[in-house]
Structure 1
Amino acid sequence: MKKILSLLLLCIASLGYSQDWKTNFDEALSDATTQKKPIILVFSGSDWCAPCIKLDKNIWQSETFKNYAASNYILERADFPRKKQNQLAGEVEKQNQGLAEKYNLDGIFPLIVVLDSKGAVLGKTSFKNITPQEYIDELNAFIK
C-alpha cells in the first residue's frame, strides 16, 4: 500500500512540473496575445525521428527549460507520428498539416519556429547538441 501511495504522489507531483504543450494553434495564438509571450512551435516526429526524441529528452524535459518556459513562452507541438497506435485525432492531424504547409515547407524534423503573438516567424532552428541554457539563449536571440 505504501508503494502505491508513494507512486501516486510522485505522479501527481510530476504533473505540477509538466509543461503545457498545446495542440491547438488558435489557443496558442490567443494565449500568446493575452500573456504577451512568443510561441515556440515544434515540428516533431515523436515516434520515429531520433533527433526529435533527443531534443525532447535533453532540452524540453530538462528542469532548466521547463522552469524558464513556464513564464516566458507559449509552447505548441505539431507532432507527426507514424506508428498506428500513436496517430492523432483527425482535427489535430489536419491542423498540424496546415501548420507544416505554412511554417515547414521543407519537411524538416525537428524544426523549432519562434513566432510572435500574430504568428509571424521570428526565427527557426533545429536539434543541436547543446545545454538547455544554451538552447534557451538561442531561442531568445530571435526575440527582439
Structure 2
Amino acid sequence: MKLKVLTLLTVCLLASWTGYAQNRQREMYGDETREVKMNYVHSLEQACKDAYRQKKLIFVNCHADWAAPCLGMNQFVFSDEEFCRYMDKTFVNLFVDMSSPEGKEIRKEYGVDVFAQYLILNYKGEVIQRIQGGSKLPEFKEMVNLSLNKKTSLAGTRLKYESGKYSKKDLYNYLKALRVAGSDSLFKSLAKEYMAMMEEKEYAQPENWIFAHLHKNRQGAYYRYMVANKPLFIKNVGEKQVNGYLTSLFSSEILSYATGSTEYDAEALNRLHGEMREAALPDTCACEILYNVALLRGERKMHDLLQYLNENGKYLDNHRGIRSLVELNLPQPGMKDAEKQELI
C-alpha cells in the first residue's frame, strides 16, 4: 500500500513540476514575457576577440532551457534594463546554449554541471570568477562585481592564498569567492582556519553569517553564543534567517519522532522541546509543528493529530517534502477502523 502511495506521489510531483516549468517558460517567452535585454555574442572565439580589443572580461551565461533557475534568471535579472546596461558596459556578454555543440564543449572544459551557472573569463579563456546558482538583484550584481578586483575575484584571492602571504581579510575574500563559486568542500576546509581567527563577538557580524551553516552542533560555542545573543543576530542578519538556521539544527531529530522513525520517548521529546523553547523559536516554525505531531502520534491520539494537521500543516508547506513525509507515515499498527477511515 505504501509503495503505491509513494508511486502516486512521485507521479503527481513530476506532473506538477512539468506544469510549473511549462508555465514559467510561457511567462518568460509568451505574451507576458519580459524581454531579455542583454546584448550577447554567441561564440567563445568571438567573445575572446572582443574582450581583448575592448579590454574587458567575458561574462558567460551557461544557459539550459530545461532548468527553471535559468528561466528565473531571465525573468528577474537579465530583463532588468539598468542591470543589462551595466553588464553591456562592463563585460563582453556571451550566451551559450549548453545543449549546443559548443555548449557541450564548454560544459566539459569548464566543469559546468549545475544550473544556473555563470563564468567570468579573461580574454585568454581563463576563469576569473564562477557563480553557481541564481540570485535576484542586487545580490547577483554584487557576485558579478567580485571579478572586477584581484582582491575579491576567485582567481586573485586564490593566488594570494597560495602565496602564503595573506591576511585575515584576504582569507575572508577567498572564502567568499569560493562560496559564490559553489566550491563547498574547499570552503568548508579553509573556513576552519578563518573561524579559528575569530573572536566570539565577531560571530554576529553580518559578513560572518556565511559561516553559520558550518556550525551544526547544539552543544558548541557558536550555538550557545547565538541563543544568548539572538536579538543581536536578528538585528544584523534578519529574523527569518536566524530562525531558519536554528530550526535546521532541530529539524532532523524532531522529524524522526514525527514520522515514527524514532520510537516515542516522552522524556527525550520533552527535553528536545525545552531546547527549542530556549532558542525562542516561534510557535509557527516547522519544529514546533513537528513537535506537536510527534507528541500526538506518540500518545496515539489519531483524531487530534489529524485535526491538528488540518489546521497547522500549512506551516510545513514551505519546507519541501516534509509534510508529505509526515502524512505518508501516519498509519500505525493497531489503528481502529474509525481512525483508518478518518485518515483516508
TM-score normalised over the length of structure 2: 0.32
2:141 aligns with 136
What residue is the counterpart of 2:126 in the other structure?
A: 120
Q: For residue 141 of structure 1, what is the amino acid of its counterpart? A: L
Q: How many angstroms apart in 2 are the aligned matches of 1:60 and 1:107? A: 21
Task: Please tell me whether the aligned partners of residues 47 and 94 of structure 2 are also in contact (alpha carbons under 8 angstroms).
Answer: yes
2: CA distance between counterparts of 1:129 and 1:109?
12
- Aligned equivalent of 1:25: 44
Per the TM alignment, residue 96 of structure 1 is displaced from its structure 2 partner at its CA by: 1.4
1:60 is paired with a residue whose SS is coil
More helix by share: 2
| 1:32-52 Cα shifts (integer Å, max 9, x gaps) | 010111111121112x11000
How many residues in Structure 1 have an aligned counterpart in Structure 2?
Answer: 115
User: Aligned-pair distance for 1:136?
Assistant: 1.6
Spell out the pairing of 1:28-39 with structure 2 (5 A cutoff).
28-39=47-58
- Distance of 2:124 and 2:106 partners within structure 1: 14
CA distance in 2, matches of 1:37, 1:44: 21
Answer whether contact 1:55 1:127 (CA < 8 A) is retained.
no
Contact 1:28–1:76 (CA under 8 A) maintained in structure 2: yes
TM-score, with length taken from structure 1: 0.72
Paired residues of 2:57 and 2:92 also in contact (CA < 8 A): yes
CA-CA distance at 1:106 after TM superposition = 4.9
Q: Structure 1 residues 100, 18: closer, same or farther in 2, change over 3 A? A: same
The structure with the larger Rg is: 2
Are the equivalent residues in 1 in contact too, given 2:59–2:121 (CA < 8 A)? yes
Superposition pairs of residues 1-144 of structure 1, within 5 angstroms? 18-46=37-65, 48-80=66-98, 93-103=100-110, 105-131=111-137, 133-144=138-149
Structure 2: gaps of 5 or more residues: 1-34, 150-344
Identity of aligned residues (%): 20
Distance 1:56 1:124 in 2: 18
5+ long unaligned stretches in structure 1: 1-14, 82-92
Contact 1:18 1:66 in 2 (8 A): yes
Moved over 2 A (4+): 126-130
Bigger share in strand? 1
Highest relative contact order (Cα 8 Å, sep 6+), 1 or 2?
Answer: 1
2:37–2:80 Cα contact (<8 Å) kept: no
